[in-house]
Structure 1
Amino acid sequence: MFYDKLLTISEAAKILGISTSTLRRLEKENGVVEGYGLKVIYTPGGQRRYLLDEIQQLYTSQGFSGKVGFGIRPALLIRDFTTAFFEPHSLFSISVNDQVSSTIELIEAAKESNIPIIFSKTVYKPEEKISKLWGSKFPSLEILKVESPWVTPLPEISKYNFDLINETPYITDFHHSSLNSFLNEREIDTLILAGVTTSGSIRANAVEGLQQGYKMIVAKEAVGDRNKSIHTSTLIDLNARYADVMNVNDILTYYKSINTKQF
C-alpha cells in the first residue's frame, strides 16, 4: 500500500540524522527539502510525510546501498522467535505482522533445498558477566532465564528440527559460540537473517557477520522490532552499510537456484 511507503517527519529526520525542526526549516514553498531533494507530502490532516523510496535513493546517490549479492552456499539463521518477543503483554513484544508466516516460508523452502538452518534465542545467565552488564542496561532481561517459559520457541517454529540450536546471552550469535565453526565446516558464504529485533540482534549479527566475511542478507518481511520507526530506520541503515535487505520472495527464488547436492 502507498501509505506503507511514507515516513513521518520524526522517522525521516532520524534516518537523515537531523532534527525535525531542521527538516521543517529546509522545506521550501514548492514542497521540496533543500539540500536533500525530498518531496513533502501532506496528509488530509496536514501532517508531513516523506517517501521512503526517495530517502533510500538519497543513500544510493551518496555512495551507499551497494549490493553484496548472494553466494553459492547459504544458511538461514532465525533469532528469538520465542514467547517473550511475541506475547502482547511482554516487555519485549514486537510489532507483529507477517514475521512468523514469512519465516516458515523460508524454513520450508530451506529444508526442501537442503539449506542448513540455525535457531538461536537470547537467554539470561546470571553467572555470565555479559548478562549482568546487559541486564544493568535492560533489567527486563532477567525474565529470559534458561528455564523460563518466556524463552520457549513459538509453537509454529518449535515443530521443526534445526541443524544447530544456539542459546546465547550475547547480542550476536558469533560471540563465544560454535556458529562460526558450523558455517566454516559447511563452507557457508551467505547468511540469511530472520527474527527479532531488527535494531538489536539482527543488526548486530549483520555487522558481525560481514566482519567475519559472510554475505549478509536480511529477510525484510521476516524481521521485526518494537515500533515502526526504529524498524524502518534500521533496515535502511543495514541496507546502506552492512547487508542486503531482500524481500522473502526474492530469497525463495534464490533458494530454488541452489544446487542442493553441494551440501
Structure 2
Amino acid sequence: MSDDLLENYKRAYNTRVGFGKKPALILIDFCLGYFDPSCDLYGGDPIEASLKSALRVREAARAAGVPVFLTNVVYHPGGVDGGRFFEKAAPLRYFVKGHPMSAWGPGLEPFEDEIVVSKQYPSAFFGTSLASTLTAMGVDSVLLTGLTTSGCVRASCVDAMSHGFKTAVIAEACGDRHSAPHEANLFDMNAKYADVVSEDETIAFLNGLKG
C-alpha cells in the first residue's frame, strides 16, 4: 500500500472507541496443536509469544475481577456438526472430541471460575450462548486474544461488534502462522470493527479497575 493510500485509509478509518466500563476477557482457541511441532497447525515462536502475552493479560484480568472466557473447538466424530467449515478446513480434524491436539495450550488450563465456550465455527459467538451470557452479566465490552488472528479472532471480533460490545483486540496476545495475515487483519479490524490495542495499555486499563 502506498504512503498516499495509507494516509487516505487512515483519514477514512481512524476512529477510536475506547475500553468499556465492564469488560470480559476472551481467550480464543489456544489449543495444543498450534504449539506442537509434530502438528501441521504448529505456528512456532509468534504463536508461543501470543499465548505468553494472553496469560499476562489473563493474570491482570483475574486480579481486577474481570470475567474470563476460554473458547475451544469440539466436533462429534466425523465432524458432522462442523458442516462446510469442517469440509473445507482439513486441520479441523484435530478438534474431534478427544484428539490430543485439541487440548489446551501450555499453561492455559481453565480455572474453576472461568467459563469455557465450545464452538464448531470460527466465531466465538456463532451458535453459542456467549452473547447471552455476557449480556446477562452486564458486560459492555470484550478484550480479545487468541488464534488465529486471520481466522477465529477476526470472526469473533466482527460478531462482538455486531452484538453491540465495545471490542478491543490485543495485538501481542493474538497470533497467526505468518506475519502477513496477522498484520493485515489487525490493520483491518482496527479500521472497521475494533480498537487494536497493546498488551501494556490493556494491562494498565485492567489495573485501573482494581478496587
TM-score normalised by length of structure 1: 0.74
**Deviation of the 1:199 alpha carbon:** 0.5
**Counterparts of 2:134 and 2:110, CA distance in 1:** 23
Q: Is the 8 A contact 1:95 1:228 kept in 2?
A: no
Q: Is the 8 A contact 1:95 1:227 kept in 2?
A: no
Counterpart in the other structure of 2:159: 208
Pair 115,140 (structure 1): closer, same or farther in 2 beyond 3 Å? same
Counterpart in the other structure of 2:176: 225
Counterpart in the other structure of 1:163: 114
**Deviation of the 1:125 alpha carbon:** 2.7
Counterpart in the other structure of 1:149: 100
Counterpart in the other structure of 2:62: 111
**Deviation of the 1:140 alpha carbon:** 2.4
TM-score normalised by length of structure 2: 0.91
The alignment yields a C-alpha RMSD, in angstroms, of: 1.9
Counterpart in the other structure of 1:199: 150
* Aligned pairs (5 A) from 1:43-122: 55=6, 57-61=7-11, 63-97=12-46, 98-122=49-73
**Deviation of the 1:95 alpha carbon:** 4.3
Pair 133,162 (structure 1): closer, same or farther in 2 beyond 3 Å? farther
Q: Is the 8 A contact 1:166 1:173 kept in 2?
A: yes
Tell me if 1:190 matches 2:141.
Answer: yes
Runs of 4+ displaced beyond 6 Å = none
Structure with more relative contact order (C-alpha pairs < 8 Å, separation 6 or more): 2
**Deviation of the 1:96 alpha carbon:** 2.9
Pair 139,128 (structure 1): closer, same or farther in 2 beyond 3 Å? closer
Percent of counterpart pairs with the same letter? 28
Q: Which moved more, 1:165-174 or 1:214-223?
A: 165-174
> Which structure 2 segments of 5+ residues have no match?
none
Aligned residues: 209
Within the candidate set 182, 191, 196, 1:240 is matched to: 191
Q: Is the 8 A contact 1:94 1:226 kept in 2?
A: yes
Tell me if 1:131 matches 2:93.
Answer: no
**Counterparts of 1:145 and 1:219, CA distance in 2:** 28
**Counterparts of 1:95 and 1:242, CA distance in 2:** 28
Q: Is the 8 A contact 1:190 1:214 kept in 2?
A: yes
**Counterparts of 1:78 and 1:140, CA distance in 2:** 20
Amino acid at match of 1:135: F
Amino acid at match of 1:37: D
Q: Is the 8 A contact 2:63 2:210 kept in 1?
A: no
**Counterparts of 2:130 and 2:139, CA distance in 1:** 11
Q: Which moved more, 1:153-162 or 1:108-117?
A: 153-162
**Deviation of the 1:136 alpha carbon:** 1.7
